[in-house]
């Protein structure tokens, strides 16, 4: 999963673009739900939020390292729930 750091300027660009609805406003800045983030695996070649973020504050979450296979499985699980 990806994460949003406290460099976030709350510009609102990433939230509507997340295909997994994993991004929401947190207490002080935007946050990513790691249970929903597939790093855009299943949707796009690159993580959309990280590409769009004007201040490049969306790195990989070091506490949530996943393989491409695990991300693909998460995508399929989330899609089945819809
Ligand atoms: Fe914050 Fe970047 Fe998202 Fe803008 S695009 S709300 S700066 S994380």
- ipTM summary value: 0.96
pLDDT of the residue at 81: 81
At 30, is the pLDDT very low, low, confident or very high (cuts 50, 70, 90)? Answer: very high
pLDDT of the residue at 67: 98
Q: Work out how many domains the chain is built from and give that number.
A: 1
Residue at 53 is within a domain: yes
Which range of residues forms the domain containing residue 59? 15-81
Which of 1, 11, 25, 54 most suits a substitution to test ligand 1, by most atoms within 8 Å of the C-beta? 11
CATH number of the domain residue 46 falls in: 3.30.70.20
pLDDT digits (tens, 9 = 90+) for 45-82: 999 999 999 999 999 999 999 999 999 999 999 999 86
The C-alpha angle with vertex 41 and arms to 37 and 45, in degrees rounded to 5, equals 125
Residue at 24 is within a domain: yes
Residue at 1 is within a domain: no
Residue at 4 is within a domain: no
Q: Whose CA is nearest to atom 2 of ligand 1?
A: 53
* Over residues 8-37, mean pLDDT: 98
What is the token pair recorded at 67? 């393989």
What is the token pair recorded at 38? 């597939």
Pocket of ligand 1 (CB under 6 A): 4, 8-14, 30, 52-53, 55, 57-58
* Burial class of residue 42 (count of CB atoms within 10 Å of its CB; 0-12, 13-18, 19+): middle
pLDDT value at 9 more than 80: yes
């Amino acid at each position: 999963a990806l994460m949003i750091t406290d460099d976030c300027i709350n510009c609102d660009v990433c939230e509507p673009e997340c295909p997994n609805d994993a991004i929401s406003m947190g207490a002080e800045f935007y946050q990513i739900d790691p249970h929903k983030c597939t790093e855009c695996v299943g949707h796009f070649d690159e993580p959309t939020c990280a590409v769009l973020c004007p201040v490049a504050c969306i790195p990989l979450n070091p506490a949530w390292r996943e393989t491409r296979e695990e991300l693909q499985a998460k995508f399929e699980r989330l899609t089945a729930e819809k």
